[in-house]
Structure 1
């Protein structure tokens, strides 16, 4: 059963159910498939707790004050204010919180008793079986963008057409190609990467071919997602101070010529960009690449999960590394929280670098000591952290800053908390200026050390 079908049957909106999954930090694999088929446990939970879901939706749809939230969940006003601190854009001028704030989600964060929720989902899913980690907000945002593919009735009822061009933008190593593949999986399209040599003229089996020929060939195939890397470089705006390669200008013209036919031919082009700031406005016009989706570096909680996933991926339970991890309680997420908190603005790639370095360090130490009960101590962890941190360059931090500017312009309302969190982490790297010592003589002990 599809999520939208279950929602209709229970008379609870699909959007409220999606928000419920996020507020209660449920694993998507416990609830729905990538194609939004409802899992058996979640369907059972929803049917047995439909009254609560309706109550949750009603609260979600209401604009409410802190006093009203406190009355609903019987929590102190001060704790509620602290829980929603940093989400200030969700407050109206009159002091009411917008309907996107859930009283029950706040209550859950404050330790409210929702065992009836977690009894269904608590420990059933092994981390190794997860399709992906965290990013529920991004997954549901993308699914909303793709709704015309998933629900053709939306086109008839609301006149909302399928996008033909999507830009995934974010700093290097954040997982844009992963999400492009995920989009193809959600809408059941073939994933095909547009190789760089397709953009120029080349010879295949002695026959000359070019990018126009390639696009025409793709348009004859059934349901294709075309993934184009370096989209911001290829689609760069023409300016006096920038030199746009002639092959890129040709690619722009070819895409603009054919893009109006993409919808009828079941073609979706997804571009991967570090920034959308320099892309030509013609490319971003309505009916072209008018959908921009930010791909954030993982937050602190996601970093812990990704590290654990990468450390245990494909390991046998009787493997030496797994035994060492288990002896250190490093087969559970809490072990990694401390080191993950030090990896501010780290990309997914940097996290993988960390785990690879740590595995090698553990292996080398074991070969010296032959001790299965060796301790994964601060020396091992900090050494691997230094190795992974080599990619945390000034250039990368500038790319994070540019990404923040982009996402504030394009997707502020969709990802307020991620923006706030990433901005805070980035600011932690700003050098603290040492006050300059004044020139001249100091009087009355001023300036004495």
Structure 2
């Protein structure tokens, strides 16, 4: 059973279930599968606790002030205000918060007794066993966008059709190809990457194949997600200042010609872009690539989880590294929190670089001393941090700044907390004594000139 079907059966909005999972920090894998199939325990919980879930849903949709919430859950106003301030919800002019603020969720964060929830979902899935770490808000945003693929309810009840094209946008190394594959998994489509050589003329079995031929052939197949990297470069808008390659212009025209047929032919095209700035506006029109999904660098909590995950990924239970990590209490998340604080605006790729560098340092010490009695020192952590920081260039920071502009313009209400947190992290790298810079970051070539 899909989540939307359970929601319809119990007469509780799907969005209420999603917010409930987030408010109570439930492990996704214990509630729903990647393609939104409801797990047996979650369905059992929902049916047995339908009265509570309906109260939760009613409260969620009410506009309420801090005073209303504090009175409702019998908690001090200042503590309620502190929780709400972190979430940055939207506020009406009359001082009441718009719907999507849950009194129950705030009460839970302030120590309210919700044991009946955790009796069902108390176990945590090991980080190494999770499909992905963090990004719950992005997962639910993506899943809601794809809801027309997951059930017929959106089409039958609301006339909302499947998107034909999606643009995943975010700075390099943020995981756009990961999310494209995750989208294919959610909707049960075959993932197929459009290689650069497909865009011109290629030869298969000595036969000349054009991109037009390629698309026609793909539309004969069943349920395919087409992934196109460098979407912003290939689909850029022609201007007086910038010319567009003839192959790219032809690719754009072919896609515009066929995209109206994609939904009928069970084709979804997903483009990956570093920025939305240069994409031809004609491509982003309704019915084309009108779904924009931002892919953020991980926040501090997610960074610590990812560091731990990448340090232990693919290791056998009796691996030497596991013993060394345990001896240093590095098999627990608190160990990684301090170093993750120093990784402001780091991409997923930079985190992997850090863990690879640290693993090599630990291994070299083991080979030198032939002993697992190794202390992971701050000096080792800082050295690995410097290695990983090599990709933290002025160009990359400019791309982060452009991303903040793009996402603030297109998805601010969806990701307010993430956007504001990323702004603070980027400020860490701003140059105070050179205010004449257009954005304020030092590029590699400028560093060389100063030397």
Q: With structure 2 as the length reference, what TM-score do the two structures score?
A: 0.93
Q: Distance in 1 between matches of 2:153 and 2:59?
A: 28
Task: Name the structure 1 match of 2:192.
Answer: 192
- How far the C-alpha of 1:89 sits from its partner, in A, is 5.3
SS of 2:131 mapped into structure 1: coil
SS of 1:172 mapped into structure 2: coil
Task: Name the structure 1 match of 2:221.
Answer: 221
Contact 1:90 1:101 in 2 (8 A): no
Residue 6 of structure 1 pairs with residue 6 of structure 2 = yes
- How far the C-alpha of 1:363 sits from its partner, in A, is 0.8
Task: Name the structure 2 match of 1:46.
Answer: 46
- How far the C-alpha of 1:95 sits from its partner, in A, is 0.4
Q: Distance in 2 between matches of 1:282 and 1:411?
A: 19
Counterpart mapping for 1:163-242 below 5 A: 163-242=163-242
Contact 2:227 2:269 in 1 (8 A): yes
Task: Name the structure 2 match of 1:58.
Answer: 58
- How far the C-alpha of 1:368 sits from its partner, in A, is 2.2
Counterpart mapping for 1:36-115 below 5 A: 36-85=36-85, 87-88=87-88, 90-115=90-115
Task: Name the structure 2 match of 1:287.
Answer: 287
Contact 1:200 1:211 in 2 (8 A): yes
Contact 1:148 1:155 in 2 (8 A): yes
Counterpart mapping for 1:38-437 below 5 A: 38-85=38-85, 87-88=87-88, 90-433=90-433
SS of 1:100 mapped into structure 2: coil
Contact 1:229 1:273 in 2 (8 A): yes
SS of 2:373 mapped into structure 1: coil
SS of 2:430 mapped into structure 1: coil
Contact 1:304 1:336 in 2 (8 A): yes
- How far the C-alpha of 1:251 sits from its partner, in A, is 0.4
- How far the C-alpha of 1:6 sits from its partner, in A, is 2.3
- How far the C-alpha of 1:86 sits from its partner, in A, is 5.1
Q: Distance in 1 between matches of 2:146 and 2:276?
A: 20
Following TM superposition, where does structure 1 have runs of at least 4 consecutive aligned residues deviating by more than 4 angstroms?
Answer: 86-89
CA RMSD of aligned residues (A): 1.6
SS of 2:21 mapped into structure 1: helix
Contact 1:86 1:420 in 2 (8 A): no
- How far the C-alpha of 1:407 sits from its partner, in A, is 0.5
Q: Structure 1 residues 116-125 or 75-84, which shifts more?
A: 116-125
Count of aligned pairs between the two proteins = 435
Q: Distance in 2 between matches of 1:401 and 1:151?
A: 37
Q: Distance in 2 between matches of 1:267 and 1:398?
A: 34
- How far the C-alpha of 1:239 sits from its partner, in A, is 0.6
- How far the C-alpha of 1:40 sits from its partner, in A, is 2.6
Superposed CA deviations along residues 405-439 of structure 1, whole A, max 9, x for unmatched, are 1011111111111111111111121123399xxxx
Superposed CA deviations along residues 232-281 of structure 1, whole A, max 9, x for unmatched, are 00000011111211110010011111111111111110000001111001
Q: With structure 1 as the length reference, what TM-score do the two structures score?
A: 0.94
Counterpart mapping for 1:29-40 below 5 A: 29-40=29-40
Q: Distance in 2 between matches of 1:86 and 1:127?
A: 25
Task: Name the structure 2 match of 1:438.
Answer: none
SS of 1:84 mapped into structure 2: helix
Task: Name the structure 1 match of 2:443.
Answer: none
Superposed CA deviations along residues 98-147 of structure 1, whole A, max 9, x for unmatched, are 11111222223333333332333233422221111111111111111111
Unaligned runs of 5+ in 1: 436-449
Q: 1:88 to 1:40 in 2, by over 3 A?
A: closer
- How far the C-alpha of 1:153 sits from its partner, in A, is 3.3
Superposed CA deviations along residues 29-70 of structure 1, whole A, max 9, x for unmatched, are 111101111123322332333222222111111100000111
